[in-house]
Structure 1
């Protein structure tokens, strides 16, 4: 079965710098369909803050022909072994909005076990260079909304030079996620996300963009001392 995976790991500084310029995941890896190597960011932090770009903290989003291909990569590939020391979640595709080059929309859509099951959202965008200042103006308030939202178990942002930005979030359930998206949550200034989407429709920030929704299948390892994010009690 075609699956996706999202990985978080802290790696040596030298390897992290190398990863900014050279893809550490071999594109010819057996069963690999698509991958993004990214540097983690602190959601909502000022652009010039030292905490904005967490160079040693790496986020990987990938798509695989099968779960066995992912397991072989983690067990046998040199960089896969490094990723296996961190945290990762395996994901079943539910639906998408927009398109990103290289990611193949699966033919089979997963369904959540019940309305209160956790759900995962991944966004990936290729920025128009001249739109970056306007994107930051609208995007950082949205980052703060997601970061502080009571409906998330985990949320991060990530970046790949020169123009790729991404977010990853695990939500308690679909209702919490969709309430945030449409500006109906009980958080302060709840319309930050919906207003940013209206601005994007008015004048797009990106030349490629997708939002992907997934069913969490399984979790492995830990991130900053925590594990089993999808099994937290609401």
Structure 2
């Protein structure tokens, strides 16, 4: 299984518009980060988790030409605003399966109503097959088992996903021990660590390191 990090930046991306901070002015490629998304693929499946405002650029750079499904962690714009750019995939493949919490699907249907419409649909608009993800119900994409991991992003419920030997969690602040049990000893863990200082809705560095100790993965990003 291959994991391609499409974006690892904050909700505004890095550099931030109008920012004169040394990080924003840096020429170091590690200080140039798009909005959070990941492409996970193998010989017989291809899926993307989240599609923020940078989705089109991310797909072009990665040369991703096919997706079997799009998974969402939550509804914030930095994770969903690029949904319209699934159009090239839709034109080639037909309706794109999207997996998300019921709350997230309702939010997307409100914001992107033209994508979810079934009558009098504009011919250039993409279409999706919306599939509800339940906290305690695993599901398959092709032959790949996907295990939802329930967590909290401040007061907002979010999903992480365990896919094979990978556990992917982003925008997490708290997570129950029962959910940690689902990913203990995983080969690869991907987790957020927003900054050194405490943050209301994200792990800071110390919290992320403590979480890594609990999970005890083979490798962490």
Q: Which TM-score bucket, shorter chain as reference?
A: under 0.3
If each structure's strand is expressed as a fraction of its own residues, which one has the higher value?
1
Higher relative contact order (CA 8 A, sep 6+): 1
